[in-house]
Amino acid sequence: MSESTEKRVAIVTGGSRGIGRAIVLEMARAGYYVVINYRSNDAAAAEVLDRVRSDGGEGELIKFDVSDTAQAGAAMEDLLTRRPVIDALVNNAGITADNLFLMMSETEWDSVIGTTLKGFYNMTKPVLKKMLRHKRGSVVSIASVAGLVGNKGQANYSAAKAGLIGASRSIASELARKNIRVNVVAPGLIETDMIKDAPVEMIKNVIPMGRIGKPEEVATVVRFLCSDDASYITGQVIGVNGGMM
């Protein structure tokens, strides 16, 4: 067996930028072969894989829209044929399309729910089937503080992230006796492209630590949850939010 097939394997959706990028680099440094999913930004994805390799790690890119069942199905079938043992799945891909609910279009609603929840379904189901066969694995999904408290202008996003929490808790209890753990990380405000239009200075006032978080501060928690150090943790939602309640 070559070294790469002996490595633990982690799939990270939306791994080309922001929090996903930091998770990819953290997991690669922890020794995982990283499968980096992204939707459109080829240059950003290539930069992350280059960085993984220059840090001495290994990985590959897989480009598809997680919310597109046909695309995701074909890509996952190919991946899982080549790499049937998956140790960690990180459902990180997510988008926002903010609007007040009464102004919110069906497209704004569907795109956010689709990326988060259909994406979760399309990725998690095939991976869990493999994990079940090998009787081990960890799934971590990136929700948000918005899934725990409603944010004005984010009914679609809050609904999607709350749904992610509910689905993860259900599946955690279904698979708890199978050595498969399912957890959620709920970040507060994290410095990425996603928040470039957010009123950061105003929001800082409601963060007890008085600052926004760094992608790496989420990534280390994800890496911990995927590791054997978290062997008795399942069905949990871990906040990474500078002390927001």
| Catalytic center residues | 157
Which of 39, 118, 181, 223 is the binder for ligand NDP (CB under 6 A)? 39
158 binds ligand NDP (CB under 6 A): no
Nearer to ligand NDP, 22 or 30 (CB): 22
Angle between the 42-54 and 18-29 helix axes, to the nearest 10 degrees? 20
Q: How far apart are CA 172 and CA 103, in angstroms?
A: 36
95 binds ligand NDP (CB under 6 A): yes
242 binds ligand NDP (CB under 6 A): no
| Token representation of residue 3 | 């070294």
Closest to 77 (Cα-Cα) out of 15, 19, 122: 122
19 binds ligand NDP (CB under 6 A): yes
- The DSSP bridge partners found for residue 58 are 33
Helix (H) or strand (E) holding 240: strand 237-240
Q: How far apart are CA 119 and CA 142, in angstroms?
A: 12
40 binds ligand NDP (CB under 6 A): yes
Nearer to ligand NDP, 57 or 239 (CB): 239
144 binds ligand NDP (CB under 6 A): yes
Give me the residues that bind ligand NDP (CB under 6 A), please: 13-14, 16-20, 37-41, 44, 65-67, 92-95, 115, 142, 144, 187, 189-190, 192-195
